[in-house]
Structure 1
Amino acid sequence: MVRAYRNYGHLEADIDPLGINTPKKGSTIELNPAIYHLKDIDQVGSTAVDIDGIVHIGSAQFPKKTATIPEIVNHLKDVYCGNIAAQFSHLETTKEQLWLAKQLEALQSENMSSQEQKRAMKLMVESEAFDHFMARKFPGVKRYGLEGCESMIYAMDVVMEQLAQDNISDIVLGMPHRGRLNLLTGLLNFPARALFHKVKGGYEFPEELIATGDVLSHLGISTELVYGDKKVSLSLLNNPSHLEAINPVALGKTRAKISHGKNAACILMHGDASFAGQGIVAETFTLSRLPLFKTGGTIHIIVNNQIGFTTAPHLSRSTRYSGDVGKMVGCPILAVNAENVDDVRKVMIIAAKYRAKFNKDIIVELFGYRRHGHNELDEPSFTQPKMYQVIRSKQTFPVAFSEQCVKNNVTTPQEVSKIRENYTQHLDNEYKAVDTYKPEKRYFLGDWHNIIQATDFSKLSLPITGYNMKRLKEIAIASYHISQRLQSLQKDEKDIHVDWATAEVMAFGSLLDEGYTVRLSGQDVIRGTFNQRHLEFVDQENESRILPMLGAIPGAKERFELGQSPLSEFAVMGFEYGYTIDNPNNFSVMEMQFGDFFNGGQIIIDTFIGSGEDKWCLCSGLTLLLPHGMDGAGPEHSSGRIERFLQLCDSDINTDELVQKRVNMCVVNCSTPANYFHVLRRQMKRKFRKPLIVFTPKILLKKKECVSNLAEFAEGTIFQRVLTDDYKHKDLSKVKRVLFCSGKIYYDLFEERAKRNMEEQVLIIRLEQLSPFPFEQLYEVMNNWNKEWMKTVEWTWVQEEHENMGAYTFVAPRLNKAINTVIHGDNRYNLIGYIGRIAASAPATGLKYVHEAEVKHIMNSAFKF
């Protein structure tokens, strides 16, 4: 019977404050005493039975050893069929199940103190006063207020205090729009004047920062909270309107703090419809226990409106509770009536303690409602008339709870009124201060104090990225000490040629050598999709694993995070983005198995990587590696969609790179191992941070011509944004055509030119960096050329992608501008021709003979004139 109540009691729990979905008591057969041969509980008698180790009655410190059957049953009803619906029978271990049962049963006898009731009452009264103030002052603003679930703000206060008592030093909070402004101003020290300044159209950043800003419901803050003698640093992350997308980002930031030795925890808030409906929730749960992604457990709080915009629960999910998604990883789920503040307190304390004890996720579902529609301007009764008839007939909960506190002699009506009046007066004073308000500098502080915003991208992006050759050889030799590459690395430096994988390991190793944290994640990254990397060696007998590179770098083991990721782009990409925004010294690299698969994480690319700095002044140095190349592998294994990333870039065609101020990310398509080495190191060696998109090769990984001399990695060397033929030793008057290209196709063009003996007639220029467009480097090259010759030569862009894909539509107008500027001083002529595949819907053909014919056509077109 005890087990039955623990397993099935939630089916008769009264968790709906509206009373619309109240369960029928006695309808659950498993809770019928008759099946346990107890037909009439009241007739059983008063004989006490031994309950030690069976059920917990009484306080945690002084539990009862015996109880009568009626006492046991009534206690179980109070615990499991009251205002808490607890689900934990699905947990993997009996230890966890018994621990949760004990916590729930022991806390039943512990009621809120007068001080706690007054604390909860004050927070909720102030929250309601805030919503009323906003409604009066800004009646046309969508504020997504907390009305209908005001106990959320108290729940947050309780759980953060408990985390502080557990010696958590940092909390990372991700949440959607509902109640965000209440939480910001009521608990997280966000100045109300700053909020009102924003509502009235003010800029939320100091004038010296370059950003476009974002809407009210996406505001974030970093603040310090004090609970007794404990201090907690809290980060509420900015979020996009793509619901739940913030989840992996918050976890990544939490993991970064843990990696730097902080005792950090993550709290994620959710809406009921989005938690059940968005796939990113399940993807993020999948990360929760993986070695490369675990953070010691996340506390999930679902603010359950019992509706998703206008969609009823039975139409938006296939589970009883929205929190049931968490069962996939064995999460306890504690649903609670949000209008029983005492039970809200209990489940939040249990949630924090569970996380501390088991280092696992736990879900708390606050069952409330929305007093208004999806936003305050929406009329909800059009679609839910009965629900809103009930809601509008109800007294607001802060008022009801205040009256309850007065009845319990916790406070007086006068004190409640004073709390409301004082807070309203505070808000009014803040409102009056808007006219003189200047946004505070809250960015580029702490760990970011040495980082700046890029205001002159060209000059700032040319750091020396070469490294000591002796150390590079030591790192490379350690990494491949059982590889055939060892022999080549023992040669004289002038004879050493470095391939792609070796260049990569030297980049990682040298950054570790300089004290940076390096992290590599993605599907199959340890070996490499194309069998090229082998950072880890596996003993063929016992499968023990060693990471040889670390042997050459003292202290690197603690700063190198390497691991496979699950088959997820969305969650993993969000996680890695979150990791980078925490600390500028975190070099995080995510590699796609094939570049084609990046679009599984398109929401992260669009709303965080591509625009996060512009919206929120949050800088990220995240590096994405996208294997790319038309190798005959078909439409899903050929293209990293260069065109899509270039379309996201705010590189202005009308502004030369010398004066560009708002370049949101770098896009490169390197053709040499040396340049790949330099561009990776450049991510950490610049004074600013920008996302880096690298289109990496596949066939070139093993191509003997795709190597670089070790001298190209030496101290004093840098990333070359443009690579040209040795035109200084070429008679340019014989050159009839200049071919511009990027990436792997250069090797095809180089070989075809040699086959046709056309080295004198064709000049090849490689754009290693596509965005920001390398105007300055092209001018340096072209200014050495005879302008009359330039007027007669044929200029052509060559790519292997289709015409509506690849870099063509991005580079063509920019190349036109560069050439025209040098020749004519303006941009008068369309000079750039196109050679490549014709426009298509799919990135590549799946037919070998068609692929080969397309390659032949491109080569013929490039060298027939």
Structure 2
Amino acid sequence: MDAKQVKVLQLINAYRFRGHQHANLDPLGLWQQERVPDLDPEFHNLTEDDFNETFNVGSFAIGQETMKLSELYDALKKTYCGSIGAEYMHITNTEEKRWIQQRLESVVGQGSFSQEEKLTFLDELTAAEGLERYLGAKFPGAKRFSLEGGDAMIPMVKELIRYAGNSGVREVVIGMAHRGRLNMLVNVLGKKPQDLFDEFAGKHDETWGTGDVKYHQGFSADFATPGGDVHLVLAFNPSHLEIVNPVVVGSVRARQDRLGDQDGSQVLPITVHGDSAIAGQGVVAETFNMSQSRGYRVGGTVRIVVNNQIGFTTSNPNDTRSTQYCTDIAKMVQAPIFHVNADDPEAVAFVTRIALDYRNTFKRDVVIDLVCYRRHGHNEADEPNATQPLMYQKIKKHPTPRKIYADALTDKGAIELETATALINEYRDALDRGECVVKEWRPMKLHSVDWSPYLGHDWTVDWANQFDANRLQELAQRVCQFPESHKLQSRVQKLYNDRLAMASGEKMLDWGMAETLAYATLVDEGNRIRITGQDSGRGTFFHRHAVLHNQGDASTYIPLSNIHDKQGTFQVFDSVLSEEAVLAFEYGYATAEPGGLTVWEAQFGDFANGAQVVIDQFISSGEQKWGRMCGLTMLLPHGYEGQGQSIPRHV
């Protein structure tokens, strides 16, 4: 192969690997991007004399085998150094990389949108900006954690829902923190503006519980898409950043299990992160680590980072992280990362579609890094100039995303200036009326979780707690049976022999057999059981052995899953080595599955301490704050087997 030809292929590869480092991502232009020598043709000994020469472009997916170097160089810059910076060459799976290259390179990194779609994006940017301005004028100084600067999140999420509905998704569960949450509630989920105004004015109509601040509230609605209605859920959450992510994924897994959605094609999780939080909070890494594990996978999560380049008052990346990008944590699971300039709504919509298609095709997590800014302080009473003077001098002069896009459409002749003005006035009038402003909103009739059978009870209510003794005897025999070909380890074989003796009344029941029988009575009546925890299949104290391991071929057998054909599902999973994310996941699962028994088992001693935020903020207070019920059961071993205390004073 000609030496110059080799250099051309190396140039293509350089852009695939490092083009994102030269991409136009920061709306404010404050990023100091280091020059990457690999992206200069001269680095590869390609001179101006070579620009008119024609070369083979190898696997560059532009749809032609050869190109002039000048045309190829221009295509590479458009594809990888425009408003989108794509990071995907860390992925080891060649098929995934080729797929992304095809989607990006075939259209030189630029989506094609109809006039109607462009007008929709402008309308949604108008709504995002209009709500914030309206609230700022109506309730000056009140905390609302404005989305301004990151307005593109609203058209992004709505496009994601529309596109998901077209691909067969029937439910979307969203988790996010405070930034832009009120905007999401009103402009995506269809909460009535008047209800929000009443909350600002302190007109709470709560006959139960303590309530919570408005930017912790959840919501549910149905959303019309061309592919059918989609049920939307915005999860309730506390101020503890990122902890809602595993809660959302757990809720999604429960919904998928209920629908028999084994590949995750019908229920989609979306998690919205902050740039400082996604890099700083350890629960993010825990949740990523769960994404492909048996007990927790949901067919991939679409993760959106509202990267406003600041965390409260801290904006120096040397203080907030030890990586180039806040999203580098996602590389631990080889997730592709699409950085995108939030002032370019068409680029945002383009990567949104690619991200969802990637998730649906490969059933893996994907990250969109929405690079934006924060127009005000951390909250509206804060003074950001005290700590970020240069950034806020720039922000003060910077036009809003809506104005930038409206001007661009006007300059191209796509719309008249009057059209953009009319959209502003129409939205403000709708807010004045206080009625729902989301055209796609529909009253709920899909997939809502029904907790009504459990309402209005207290601890003194009697329940049917008797079980037929003869049937219990039969179940005791059934849970001790396994195929003859399934050879057990000698200690496990003795344990099961002892259980057979217990079943016939020759021995007293021990804890392991009693627990197994309790589960058997539930699945026998058609109830679902899910147990997770570290080493829960065997049991930390060698007592459960719900999963039997064949000593010959390492296959497994679960007696409790094989009682009879019409029994309830019995699942037991050894969890990843985490308490916080796993317990949060199981809380989310239990909130979306009223009819079953969901159990999380702390492995040892006081290990549950690692999940204290979940216990405090969700399990013990969720019903009181948000009216969210949850049937989660926690097994907390604390020394009764003789070695459960890791530190005695903590027990």
The TM-score, its normalising length taken from structure 1, stands at 0.69
Shift of 1:109: 4.9
Partner Cα distance (1:331, 1:109) in 2? 21
In the alignment, residue 466 of structure 1 is paired with which amino acid? Answer: Q
Q: 1:502 to 1:631 in 2, by over 3 A?
A: closer
Verify: 1:194 aligned to 2:195, yes or no. Answer: yes
Partner Cα distance (1:635, 1:513) in 2? 35
Asked whether the equivalents of residues 475 and 553 of structure 1 are also in contact (C-alpha less than 8 Å), the reply is: no
Shift of 1:202: 2.6
**Which of 264-273 and 84-93 deviates more?**
84-93
Aligned to 1:610: 620
Q: 1:291 to 1:556 in 2, by over 3 A?
A: farther
Partner Cα distance (1:192, 1:565) in 2? 42
Aligned to 2:42: 34
Aligned to 1:168: 169
Aligned residue runs from structure 1 range 581-596, under 5 A: 581-596=591-606
Q: Render the CA deviation track for 1:71-107: whole Å, top value 9, x for unaligned.
A: 1111111111111111111112111111111111124
Shift of 1:404: 1.6
In the alignment, residue 550 of structure 1 is paired with which amino acid? Answer: S
Shift of 1:45: 4.8
In the alignment, residue 453 of structure 2 is paired with which amino acid? Answer: I
Q: Secondary structure at the match of 2:453?
A: coil
Q: Secondary structure at the match of 2:269?
A: strand
Verify: 1:513 aligned to 2:554, yes or no. Answer: no
Higher relative contact order (CA 8 A, sep 6+): 2
Aligned residue runs from structure 1 range 269-284, under 5 A: 269-284=272-287
In the alignment, residue 368 of structure 1 is paired with which amino acid? Answer: C
Aligned to 2:490: none
Verify: 1:536 aligned to 2:547, yes or no. Answer: yes
Aligned to 2:362: 358
Q: 1:77 to 1:215 in 2, by over 3 A?
A: same
Asked whether the equivalents of residues 252 and 589 of structure 2 are also in contact (C-alpha less than 8 Å), the reply is: yes
Q: 1:46 to 1:442 in 2, by over 3 A?
A: closer
Which residue among 215, 218, 222 is the counterpart of 2:216?
Answer: 218
Partner Cα distance (1:386, 1:112) in 2? 36
Aligned residue runs from structure 1 range 440-589, under 5 A: 446-448=448-450, 450-454=452-456, 457-460=458-461, 462-481=462-481, 483-489=496-502, 491=504, 497-556=508-567, 559-589=569-599
Partner Cα distance (1:232, 1:431) in 2? 21
In the alignment, residue 298 of structure 1 is paired with which amino acid? Answer: T
Shift of 1:22: 4.8
Shift of 1:23: 2.5
**CA radius of gyration, larger in:** 1
Shift of 1:450: 3.8
Q: 1:175 to 1:109 in 2, by over 3 A?
A: closer
| Identity fraction in percent | 36
Aligned to 2:309: 306
Aligned to 2:31: 21
In the alignment, residue 628 of structure 2 is paired with which amino acid? Answer: L
Partner Cα distance (2:477, 2:115) in 1? 68
Q: 1:45 to 1:330 in 2, by over 3 A?
A: closer
Asked whether the equivalents of residues 499 and 513 of structure 2 are also in contact (C-alpha less than 8 Å), the reply is: no
Shift of 1:358: 0.4
In the alignment, residue 239 of structure 2 is paired with which amino acid? Answer: S
Q: Secondary structure at the match of 1:150?
A: coil
Q: 1:70 to 1:224 in 2, by over 3 A?
A: same
In the alignment, residue 152 of structure 1 is paired with which amino acid? Answer: M
Partner Cα distance (2:152, 2:290) in 1? 30
Shift of 1:284: 0.5
Verify: 1:56 aligned to 2:61, yes or no. Answer: yes
Partner Cα distance (1:95, 1:162) in 2? 23
Asked whether the equivalents of residues 220 and 238 of structure 1 are also in contact (C-alpha less than 8 Å), the reply is: yes
Partner Cα distance (1:490, 1:124) in 2? 67
The TM-score, its normalising length taken from structure 2, stands at 0.90
Runs of 4+ off more than 6 Å = 441-445
Asked whether the equivalents of residues 167 and 227 of structure 2 are also in contact (C-alpha less than 8 Å), the reply is: no
Verify: 1:181 aligned to 2:182, yes or no. Answer: yes
Q: Secondary structure at the match of 2:339?
A: strand
Q: Render the CA deviation track for 1:501-558: whole Å, top value 9, x for unaligned.
A: 112112212221222221000000111000000011111121111112222132447x
Shift of 1:346: 1.2
Asked whether the equivalents of residues 14 and 22 of structure 1 are also in contact (C-alpha less than 8 Å), the reply is: no
Verify: 1:3 aligned to 2:13, yes or no. Answer: yes
In structure 2, the gaps of 5 or more residues are 1-10, 437-442, 482-492
Q: 1:123 to 1:587 in 2, by over 3 A?
A: same
Asked whether the equivalents of residues 221 and 444 of structure 2 are also in contact (C-alpha less than 8 Å), the reply is: no
Partner Cα distance (1:194, 1:226) in 2? 22
Partner Cα distance (1:290, 1:533) in 2? 22
Q: Render the CA deviation track for 1:401-431: whole Å, top value 9, x for unaligned.
A: 1122222222222222221112111111218
Q: 1:228 to 1:630 in 2, by over 3 A?
A: closer
Shift of 1:395: 1.6
Partner Cα distance (2:148, 2:94) in 1? 39
Aligned to 2:410: 406
Q: 1:409 to 1:505 in 2, by over 3 A?
A: same
In the alignment, residue 375 of structure 1 is paired with which amino acid? Answer: N
Partner Cα distance (1:414, 1:277) in 2? 45
Q: Render the CA deviation track for 1:43-69: whole Å, top value 9, x for unaligned.
A: 225444343x51122xxxxx3343211
In the alignment, residue 544 of structure 1 is paired with which amino acid? Answer: S
Shift of 1:162: 1.6
Asked whether the equivalents of residues 595 and 625 of structure 1 are also in contact (C-alpha less than 8 Å), the reply is: no
Q: Secondary structure at the match of 1:574?
A: helix
Q: Render the CA deviation track for 1:145-195: whole Å, top value 9, x for unaligned.
A: 111011111111111122112101111100111111111111211111211
Q: Render the CA deviation track for 1:730-787: whole Å, top value 9, x for unaligned.
A: xxxxxxxxxxxxxxxxxxxxxxxxxxxxxxxxxxxxxxxxxxxxxxxxxxxxxxxxxx
Asked whether the equivalents of residues 604 and 645 of structure 2 are also in contact (C-alpha less than 8 Å), the reply is: no
In the alignment, residue 224 of structure 1 is paired with which amino acid? Answer: D
In the alignment, residue 391 of structure 2 is paired with which amino acid? Answer: M
Q: 1:634 to 1:601 in 2, by over 3 A?
A: closer
Partner Cα distance (2:111, 2:53) in 1? 26
Aligned to 1:89: 89
Which residue among 589, 606, 619 is the counterpart of 2:629?
Answer: 619
In the alignment, residue 552 of structure 1 is paired with which amino acid? Answer: I
Q: 1:604 to 1:125 in 2, by over 3 A?
A: same
Partner Cα distance (2:23, 2:227) in 1? 38
How many aligned positions are there?
615
Partner Cα distance (2:237, 2:641) in 1? 39
